[in-house]
Amino acid sequence: KAGVTQTPRYLIKTRGQQVTLSCSPISGHRSVSWYQQTPGQGLQFLFEYFSETQRNKGNFPGRFSGRQFSNSRSEMNVSTLELGDSALYLCASTLVVGSSTDTQYFGPGTRLTVL
Amino acid sequence: SQELEQSPQSLIVQEGKNLTINCTSSKTLYGLYWYKQKYGEGLIFLMMLQKGGEEKSHEKITAKLDEKKQQSSLHITASQPSHAGIYLCGADFSGGSNYKLTFGKGTLLTVNP
């Protein structure tokens, strides 16, 4: 079974631009979570989507948004990019069987550099 | 302050040596996850612990969750260069909301041949 895929793997943008990142979960997985990883703050939760609805949200400004499609694929968008948005963006997919043993499986990440 | 503290921040060991990484929480954990990350890459799931006193092993890696469910340790026996990487603990603090994890800052492990 294929793992979580993220595209693109690397991205360079300039301040003020916007960017869209894509995540395809493991086949059959219904939940997609997004995280931002930086050297200073570590790994921080952005938001989680299930059945095309945002269920959980972290403490990030409204410039960060996302959505999920009917096939569970998810995208996240960052508008008006700032230098501090440079980070590794990771998505994770979860099967969701209603069990507390559900586990998040991570993709390889998208490395975003803002100049 | 950080909700999840990992120690040490970095560790250098000689191949063949044993080592332990700790993860301490300021509050009760509903689930504790251990992941490994190669620099700049995605996270690889290692183990999940839920019950107080629980212990799990996979190959040469053993993870334990204490009875109070506020501290976990990851122990590697007879370390190998393939064990090198960043070890991250992630916690579910909300009781079943496994889709929103809080992570520690990570422990960088170097294994010298």
Q: Are B3 and B102 in contact (CB under 8 A)?
A: yes
pLDDT of amino acid B46: 93
pLDDT of amino acid A99: 57
Predicted confidence band at B87 (pLDDT cuts at 50, 70, 90)?
very high
pLDDT of amino acid B99: 67
Give the residue numbers in B contacting A (CB under 8 Å), as ranges.
Answer: 30-31, 33, 35, 40-45, 48, 50, 88, 90, 96-106
Q: Are A4 and A92 in contact (CB under 8 A)?
A: yes
The DSSP secondary-structure symbol of B106 reads: -
Taking alpha carbons only, the member of A78, A66, A70 closest to residue A113 is A78
pLDDT of amino acid A53: 92
Name the residue among A4, A42, A108 with its Cβ closest to that of B103. A42
The whole-angstrom distance between residue B67's C-alpha and the CA centroid of its chain comes to: 17
Stretch A40-56: mean pLDDT, rounded? 91
pLDDT digits (tens, 9 = 90+) for B95-112: 655 568 899 999 999 999
Tokens of B59: 């190959």
Please state, for a pLDDT cut of 70, what percent of chain A lies above it.
Answer: 94
B99 and A94 within 8 Å at the Cβ level: the answer is: yes
